[in-house]
Structure formats: structure tokens, C-alpha cells
Amino acid sequence: METSSSSPVKPRRKDKDEDGRAEQEDSADQVDEPQKKLLRLGDILETKEVLLNEAYQQPELTKWIQTAWTEEKSQGTKEKQTGAQVFSDPFQICLLPGMLEKGQSQALVAEIIQKVQWSRKQMDLYEFYQSTDLSNMPDCRLLTNFLQVLRKQVRPWLEKVTNLKLDYVSASCSMYTCGDYLLVHDDLLKDRQVAFIYYLSPWEGAEEWTEAQGGCLEIFGSDDQCFPQFPVQRKIAPKDNQFAFFKVGSRSFHQVGEVTTFDYPRLTINGWFHGDTNEAFVADSLRAFPRLNYLQPDGLNRPPLGLFLNNVYLKGATRRSIQKRIEENSEICLYEFFKREKFELARSQLLADSDTLKWRRQGPANAHNYEVLDLTTARGTILELLQLFRSHAMFDLLRDFTDLDLAGTDAESPTCSVELQRWSHGNYTVLGDGLTSEENTLDLVYYLNAAEGAAVITYLAPDAEMPTAKAPADGRRSDYDDEEEDDSVLLTITPVDNALNIVYRCEGTTKFTKYVSRNTPLEKGPVFVISCSYKE
């Protein structure tokens, strides 16, 4: 159906997210700005080779760390000479301040500025810059030397400390500028045994970051099923010339908190020491995310649709045009879906009713981080809208919109799930088994108090490849080619107040909701989303 600009039924492009490409191009340009700040390093000591701090080569210190590593209740007591610390809860992690001799981190940063080429990495789980593997940098003398130190000195030392057989090391450089992050993951892939991060922050006054600057290594505890739980249990702020390492396992959940400072980037050299197949890897492959709870239509008598819906959507001609649009494109956005007064009442109630409405955080942390309403606490217009999405009248309407067997004589046992979500800074969902459609599903997404950049949903094609041979620095998944990412994107839904998005997704289609950066303006308060899924 051809529609005029005044019609609330407006076609929307379903092609690649060109805005996302523009963001990538803009972000790539921004790499120059932090590099200008990197140049202000002062006098750089001439460094011919990378040298380990002699203190860490003493047998007594090695024995101290080895003992602390094997203790089940190490609480981070500092070793007197170096300040080294070992924590055992929620998983084993060790911090080695001053790992290299004085001035060497500054020399490494100077070489990184001059010679390292950065690639922008953007996906559901992360946004940051990454270099190639250090083994592919023959022109970077100090970085190549650092890799040799990891191979020939640190690897055998770690074998003594951890009692693990370590065969080889992989490493690369990472740079996080303001707004960059890496969400919750466990680093667990087939042969990874020990993960490490070496921090580079040699600028005067910024040798050790504060939590307010972001970029912390944030450690999570986990439940009996090895799912990470909120809140964050420990934060480790970037500190120049500090080396951190931890045992990779089914509970080694961590993230890099969003960098919030514009003054300096978070620079690290990071990677893994590899060995035999990690015993936790097999068990982890059997772990599945919790799934949505689908219910039958609500059989109670509800107010008629005409009391809520914009009258244009009740007309037969409009319903037929919507059905044609969905048949052709598998999606549509219906603007001004509910009567404006109903929308305003619902939004006002959500923003004002802080005592009656009860919210809980939706986890686990490696899959979701947003708040969901306890539906039993809903009242007034909010309750009426939520009931409407489960009503027989809505199933009838969606049958007319989509021609799916959601009502009528051909309908066997249609079901739906309904959530009212609250989105604020730091919230997200990531790709995972729990968000992959096992059968054809109709999604409804309705925004209240919408804000640009908050609760943006991306749908990916069923055949989108998710390679796992090599994960990004500090991350779990493999590197992604930017063009491959674009090719997999089917649709991006951006928030618009009082607009109902209808998306028909076939089996295997997955989705994620982009991380809400702290740079996202939310002056009007959080964004609310009524998210529904229907099955025939």
C-alpha cells in the first residue's frame, strides 16, 4: 500500500544499518584524537629490550605466589616487597604491580603510538580497538620482545605458580576510548588455560585510574548453575605496568567496564596462555540460557480494542495494507498505535509510580542486564495495556495483521510472552541461545519515554556465521569482519514513542539490544519497552 506522509502506517527500510556504518567510520576517525594525547609522554628512556622486574624472578616470591594461588581463601593480602596480590573468590586471580623494569611501559606505549595499526571491533558484546597478534608485528621491536618474554620467561613461571601445562601464548594490543566496553563473558574456549592483561598507563597523574574513569576489570560471582550474577563482586582499575592473570574456567566471568574519561585511552596487551583442552569447556557447552515463559491468551473479558487503539488500525483497509507490508518485508512500524491520551497516562504512571511498581534485574549477566516489572504489581493504565497484549482481541488483531494462525478455527494452541522492561545506562542483551528463535515467532516491541540510543534492537540472519576459532582481546568470541557483520543484520529497531514494531522472525533468527552507553542522554528518565512474542 502506498501511504502518504500523514498516515501512521509508514514503511521503513529493512536493509543494512547505515547509521551503524557511519558510527564505525566516525569511531575509526576518533583513533587520532587519543593518539595526540598519547604523544605527551615526556622523556622516554632508551629501551633496547623488555626486561622483567628482578623481584619477580626471585624463588622466594615465586613460592609466596604459588602458595597463595593454591589457598582456597586468599583475600588479596599484599606481598611486602612487590605488592603482589592473589584472590581466590569468586575465582583465582593474581595482580603483579611493576611487572617490568622502570620506564619500559612508557617505551612500549611510544612504539604502539608510532607503529600499531588498529581495527575497530563492534558487536553485541563489545566496542573497542584491537591490533593484530603480536606475532604478526615484525616491525615492532619492543612488542615482539615482550611476546618473547611471555613465551620464554612468564610461561614457565606461570606453570610453576598454577601447576598447569601451558604450551603457547597468544597476545594483542587493545585500546578502549571513551564509551568503549566489553560485556560479561568467561573467556572459556577449548584450550585456553590462563588469561592475562598487562596495563599501560604511563602518563603523569594517570598511572592508576579511579573507578570514576571506568575501564575497570570487573569480576562477577556465579550461582550453582555457573551463571554470573549481579552485582559486580570486585573491580580492578587500570594501573600502569601491572600484570593481571586468572585461571579460565566455567566461573571466570568478568567484563571491562565502560571507559568514561576522554583524557586517556585504556591501553593493554592481553591474551591467553594455551594448553590442553580446558576441562570446563565440555561442561560449559551443555549450559543453556533460561528461556521466556509462554502463556495461553488471557480468557477474561477485557475492554474492547477501540478504547485503546488509534482508530485507523481498526479499519479493514488498514489491516489489509499492514498484512501486505508484513508479507513482503516481515516487519512494520505502526506509529501512534495507541490513543495519545492512553499513551500519556501509561508513561506518566511509569515515571511517577516508584512505590507500587516492583522491578527486578533480569539476568544472567552474560545474557541480559535490564529491569523487568513484576506484572502482579501493575495498576491502572499500565495493567490495562499489559492485559491487552495477552487478550483474545489482540490475538485476533495480529491474525488479521499477519495471517498467522493466532486465532480462529485453524489456531491450535497459540501462546505469548509479555514483559515490561526498564532500560537505563549500562543495560544490554547479548547474542546467546536464549535469544535465538527455535521456531517462527512474531515479536512486538512498544516504546514509552523513548530516547535516542537506548534499547536499540538488532535482528541477525539465521545463517549469520559466528566463528569461534579466535576471540577478540579480553573477549570470548572470534574476530568479526565489519562487512560480514553488516551482511548479517536484517533489521535495526530504534526507539519511537507510542510506535508498535511488529517483526516476524523465522527459526534461527537471533537478536540483541545494544548496550546503553553512559553517553546516551536520558534526561527524561529511563526508557520503557513492552516486549511480546507470539507463537502459533
Residue 134: all three cell numbers together: 603480536
- Reported as a single tens digit per residue, the pLDDT across 173-224 is 999 999 999 999 999 888 999 999 999 999 888 999 999 999 999 999 999 9
pLDDT score for 392: 87
- Give the residue with greater pLDDT, 393 vs 353: 393
pLDDT score for 299: 59
Per DSSP bridges, beta strands 368-373 and 359-362 are antiparallel
Residue 198: closest CA among 166, 249, 238, 160: 238
Residues 398 and 513 in one domain: yes
Residues 276 and 312 in one domain: no
Q: Is the pLDDT of residue 280 over 90?
A: no
If one counts every other C-beta atom within 10 angstroms of the C-beta of residue 136, the result is 10
Task: Tell which of 237, 255, 285 closes a domain.
Answer: 285
Quickly tell me which residue has 569480576 as its cell: 219
Domain that holds residue 248: 54-285
pTM for the model stands at 0.84
pLDDT score for 506: 87
Per DSSP, the three-state class of 254 is strand
- Reported as a single tens digit per residue, the pLDDT across 463-516 is 664 433 333 444 444 433 343 445 688 899 999 999 999 999 888 888 999 999
Residue 374: all three cell numbers together: 513484576
Q: Rounded to whole angstroms, how far apart are CA atoms 183 and 517?
A: 12
Say which amino acid occupies 237. A
If one counts every other C-beta atom within 10 angstroms of the C-beta of residue 525, the result is 14
Q: Which CATH number is 513's domain given?
A: 2.60.120.620
Residues 114 and 217 in one domain: yes
Let me know if residue 312 belongs to a domain: yes
Per DSSP, the three-state class of 7 is coil
pLDDT score for 292: 60
Residues 395 and 502 in one domain: yes
pLDDT score for 17: 40
Q: Rounded to whole angstroms, how far apart are CA atoms 470 and 37?
A: 31
Let me know if residue 246 belongs to a domain: yes
Residues 267 and 320 in one domain: no
Burial of 476 from C-beta contacts in 10 A (0-12 / 13-18 / 19+): buried
Residues 199 and 84 in one domain: yes
Per DSSP, the three-state class of 445 is strand
Residue 365: closest CA among 255, 206, 477: 255
CA end-to-end distance (rounded Å), the chain: 26
Residues 444 and 523 in one domain: yes
Phi-psi region of 127 (alpha: psi -120 to 50; beta: other; left: phi over 0): beta
Let me know if residue 298 belongs to a domain: no
Let me know if residue 74 belongs to a domain: yes
Residues 310 and 281 in one domain: no
- Reported as a single tens digit per residue, the pLDDT across 132-175 is 999 999 999 999 999 999 999 999 999 999 999 999 999 999 99
Quickly tell me which residue has 540472519 as its cell: 461
Task: Tell which of 238, 255, 285 closes a domain.
Answer: 285
Mean pLDDT of 260-287: 82
Let me know if residue 477 belongs to a domain: no
Residues 350 and 419 in one domain: yes
